[in-house]
Chain A
Amino acid sequence: MRTGIEEQYDAQSDIFVQPGDCRFATGPDSRLISRGIQSCVALAVHIPKHNTAALLRFSWPGSAPASAEHVPVEERAWLSGESAIPALFARLRAMGTTNGDMSVYAVGGAAVSNTPGAGAQNVPSGKSNELAMRRLLWREGVLLKGEDVGGSSARTVWFEAGSGRIIVRTQSCSARPAVHREGAKLWHFAS
């Protein structure tokens, strides 16, 4: 059931990002939304200079498992951090973006016990995804400006392309402190 916050924040100009997907948005009214982020990691990149935002949501730290073979090859790149993160930054650099132009935020990587299939050998832990993200960002020469990772709660993220504001809603905590380092860009709501 959708909450008041979700009703308020979903609009016509919203773009939804599913697991193993990456979407771009431009313009002051566009928003990127990803719901039910559990062990996945969502990487939000804001480029104020280009009025652009990108939201990547990857599900696996390394190569995608055999169970992902049904996904078309061209879409499989976004499934794992190992291929998705370099692909995202390559695309951004091809647009003329430098590391100094970007603000990068990370959300997710939870150890969620009710993840479908949790316990099976091929289900990555949120921690593996988080560690892969940190390793790959280091390789790309990118530091996070803010993060809300780990824990055990699923999250939904709304990312505003114009302002770069990120709203994170967690499912099971009543008071979650904002975890941001520079600028008040990461906001939390608890349901």
Chain B
Amino acid sequence: MAFRVLVVDDSAVMRQTIQRAIDISGLPVQHCLTAEHGRAALSVLKDHKIDLMLLDLNMPEMSGDDLIRRLQRDPEQAPIPFIVISADATAARMQQMLDLGALAYIPKPFRAETLRSEMTRALEQMHATN
């Protein structure tokens, strides 16, 4: 089964790095779309079905947690599994995002292998629940 992934990060370099890590991971990712902040992600989500989001937190326009809250308030929006990738690795912030439903929290800087194993776990979990 192939998955569609949305990478939301305000850093173009980070978006490219994550895309490259996904490319070389061998994971069955069919499409990897990107957005530079939460508001841009909402536009992408209007037009595309996304299976998994990789989400930064501190971004202009709309932060990662605001995006998740907004999606969770929308009764027409099916829940989208997400993994947080953020430089903010404080325990309180991590707990807050896990409480919001994050499947994993990857602190930056991260190794591509870590992203692969967390995505593998998330995709297996999603596959098991579908």
Contact = CB atoms under 8 A, between A and B. Distances in A.
B66 interface: no
Interface string B87-128: 000000000000000000000000111001100100000000
B111 A100 contact: no
B112 A100 contact: no
Interface residues on B, range: 10 to 19
B61 interface: no
B24 A181 contact: no
Nearest to B111: A134
Contacts, number: 24
Contact of B116 (A99, A100, A138, A143): A143
Contacts of A136: none
Interface residues of A, number: 11
Interface in A132-156: 134, 138, 141-144, 147
A100 B113 contact: no
A143 B23 contact: no
Interface in B1-51: 20-21, 23-26
Contacts of A141: 23-24
Contact of A100 (B21, B26, B117): B26
Contacts of B117: 181-182
